[in-house]
Amino acid sequence: MTTELIIVRHGKTAWNLEGRLQGQQDTDLHPIGVKQAEALAERLQHEPFAAIYSSDLKRAAQTAEPIAKLKQQPIILHSGLRERNFGVFEGKTRTELETQFPEEWDKFHRYDPDYAMPNGVSLREFYKHGIECLEKIAKKHLGERVLVVTHGGLLGGLLRHTLGIPYSTPSGYQGVNTAINIFAFANNAWTLKTWGDASHLREIE
Query: What residue type is assigned to position 96 of the chain?
Result: E
pTM, rounded to two decimals = 0.95
Which sequence positions are flagged as catalytic? 10, 83
13 is annotated as contributing to ligand binding: yes
The CATH class of the 8-141+156-171 domain is: alpha beta
User: Residue 205 has what pLDDT?
Assistant: 63
Grouping H, G, I as helix, E, B as strand and the rest as coil, residue 89 is helix
105 is annotated as contributing to ligand binding: no
Comparing 53-57, 94-98, 140-144, which segment has the lowest mean pLDDT? 94-98
Q: Greatest CA separation found in the chain?
A: 51
CB-based contact 100:92 (threshold 8 Å): yes
10 is annotated as contributing to ligand binding: yes
State the average pLDDT over residues 90-98: 92
User: Residue 109 has what pLDDT?
Assistant: 84
Q: Is the dihedral of CA 85, 137, 160, 153 positive or negative?
A: negative
